[in-house]
Amino acid sequence: MSNNHIEVWNNCLKVIKDNIAEQSFATWFEPIRPVSLTDGTLLVEVPSSFFVEFLEAHFIDHLRAAIKRFIGPTGKLAYKIRMDSSDPSYTVTLPSSNRNFPKNPIGRPAPETLSQSPINPFAIPGLKKPQIESQLKENYTFDNFVEGDCNRLARSAGLKVAQEPGKTAFNPLLIYSGTGLGKTHLCHAIGLEAKRLHPDLTVLYVQAEQLYNQYATAAKNNNRPDFIRFYQMIDVLIIDDIQFLAGKTGTQEAFFHIFNYLHQNNKQLVITSDKFPTELQNMETRLLSRFKWGLTADLQMPDIETRTFIIKEKLYLNGIVLPDEIIQYLANNVRTNVRELEGVMISLMAQSSLNKKAITIEMTQQIIDRFVRNTIKEVSVEYIINIVCDYFKIPPEQLSLKTRKHQVVQARQIAMFLSKRYSNASLASIGQQCGKKDHATVHHACKTISNRLETDKQFRVMFSDIEKKVTLQS
């Protein structure tokens, strides 16, 4: 009698198949597995709690009729959620009552909003059972991610999360840094390591932009619930560049549900951002507050020693040898971010092999000048003032005048902002040179300019013209 549950379920399926659309059957019934039949209760395994909701909403009559026919009038159906084996089974007595249902954060979807086939945007074609392509880059490993003071916390938290996904306090793990400092690399490293250690887990790396595009398509086709359901099946979900979702309220809302569901079910979330969470504008506060549940760790620009290690690591990976002198020169002179450091190295190697020339300091310098716009060695405040005043066609002395003339105030604020960004001068010294102001005024000016850069497109265009002059001419 041990296979009785299979026989009973197969009989049920035959009847149901005859009565519903082929596509619906394939989508909602084929993934179901019978588990046992005890005391008139047929236990079946389903991929998610959403499945239970959907089956109950759309096929309850068919299920009820089939169970009644093959088990008897007192027959019951119970569901077990497959994705998380620690989940308890949910017994649903037929006729069903919603009270016993697992919580579904997205609630019961309106029937017309559900498509007949679930979205699996990362399906591996040719395989019957939907499998998820993790989108992980094999060469972005922990081994290749050089450790330094600049990344120690984020790196070790990432490693911990990969070892015990969903089981540490680092959930979500939020990694933030400026561009080119290793967020994406670390994401892939976490994903690869999690997969290596836990081959059964479903790991997915996705850029927030992809998430947004998929959501937009789902919304257009009226199948948001499928979109959400797909992401709720993931065990380790890694979302890169979450700042992309700023202002995208629909996707944020959907992500909120995904987040809650995964978090409640002890699934691991890893999120990166190019801003500190509180600085993410146009992001729902309830989403931001969720990010604080876990750990926020930043990545800084590596110090010279770590930069040297990174260069050596990349050279080693590419099988290339550079004289120590050049390595030191690079580490000393590219101080913007690791991506630019890499860019210079690649150009250097390309140039040298194309021109069949040995790499020299001179050549390195030229390439740095060409490729790393922001690597400015010594920019003085005076130099910046001259460029800004020249741009606005006002004599530099005017910056010291006590005037409320917009043009002058604006020039002074831009000069202060650029000086803070590109000179080594202290706020006090910048203030002194830009019209004998104190450091608080400089601070205020920098804030004003930041705000305008975020909100005023025309201003942004003008500003970047001036900034280019500062960075290119130096």
The smaller minimum CB distance to ligand ADP, of residues 179 and 426, is found at 179
Cα–Cα distance for residue pair 345/326, rounded to 1 Å:
10
The smaller minimum CB distance to ligand ADP, of residues 208 and 287, is found at 208
Residue 390, binding choice from ligand ADP, Mg ion, none, Cβ under 5 to 8 Å by partner class:
none
Among 69, 339, 373, 439, binds ligand ADP (CB under 6 A): 339
219 touches 251 (CB < 8 A): no
In sequence order, what DSSP letters do the residues of 77-109 get, joined into one string? Answer: EEEEESS-TTSPPEEEPSSP-GGGSPP-TT-PP
Residue 407, binding choice from ligand ADP, Mg ion, none, Cβ under 5 to 8 Å by partner class:
none
Cα–Cα distance for residue pair 367/472, rounded to 1 Å:
14
Among 37, 114, 146, 189, binds ligand ADP (CB under 6 A): 146
The smaller minimum CB distance to ligand ADP, of residues 228 and 310, is found at 310
Helix or strand run (H / E) with residue 220: helix 208-220
100 alpha-carbon distance from chain centroid: 35
Residue 177 binds Mg ion, judged by CB under 5 A: no
Kindly report the number of other CB atoms within 10 A of residue 285's CB atom. Answer: 8
Cα–Cα distance for residue pair 141/159, rounded to 1 Å:
11
Site stretch for Mg ion (CB under 5 A), options 180-188, 222-230, 395-403, 441-449: 180-188
The amino acid present at 17, given as its one-letter code, is K
Contacts with ligand ADP, 161-190, as mask; x by CB under 6 A? ----------------x-xxxxxxx-----
Site stretch for ligand ADP (CB under 6 A), options 138-146, 260-268, 389-397, 460-468: 138-146
The smaller minimum CB distance to ligand ADP, of residues 183 and 263, is found at 183
- Within 289-318, the residues that bind ligand ADP by CB under 6 A are 310, 313
Q: How far is the CB of 337 from ligand ADP (least distance, A)?
A: 7
Q: HSE of 375 in the Cβ direction (CA atoms, 13 Å)?
A: 22
Residue 185, binding choice from Mg ion, ligand ADP, none, Cβ under 5 to 8 Å by partner class:
ligand ADP
Cα–Cα distance for residue pair 94/67, rounded to 1 Å:
8
Residue 275 binds ligand ADP, judged by CB under 6 A: no
Residue 184 binds Mg ion, judged by CB under 5 A: yes
The count of residues interacting with ligand ADP (CB under 6 A) is 17
Q: How far is the CB of 314 from ligand ADP (least distance, A)?
A: 7
Give the burial string for 309-330 (b: 16+ CB within 10 Å, else e). ebbeebbeeeeeebeeebbbbb
In the three-class reduction of DSSP (H, G, I as helix; E, B as strand; rest coil), residue 36 is classed as: strand
- Within 72-91, the residues that bind ligand ADP by CB under 6 A are none
Q: How far is the CB of 222 from ligand ADP (least distance, A)?
A: 34
Of 140, 117, 146, give the one whose Cα is nearest residue 195: 140
What are the angstrom distances between the C-alpha of 437 and each of 6, 339, 393, 450?
82, 37, 22, 19
The smaller minimum CB distance to Mg ion, of residues 184 and 419, is found at 184
Cα–Cα distance for residue pair 471/365, rounded to 1 Å:
16
Among 49, 104, 134, 151, binds ligand ADP (CB under 6 A): 151
Q: HSE of 265 in the Cβ direction (CA atoms, 13 Å)?
A: 28
Q: How far is the CB of 204 from ligand ADP (least distance, A)?
A: 17
Q: Say which DSSP state 207 is in.
A: E
Q: How far is the CB of 210 from Mg ion (least distance, A)?
A: 13
CB-nearest residue to ligand ADP: 182
The count of residues interacting with Mg ion (CB under 5 A) is 2
For binding to ligand ADP (CB under 6 A), which residues are involved? 144-146, 151, 177, 179-185, 310, 313, 338-339, 342
Residues that bind Mg ion (CB under 5 A): 183-184
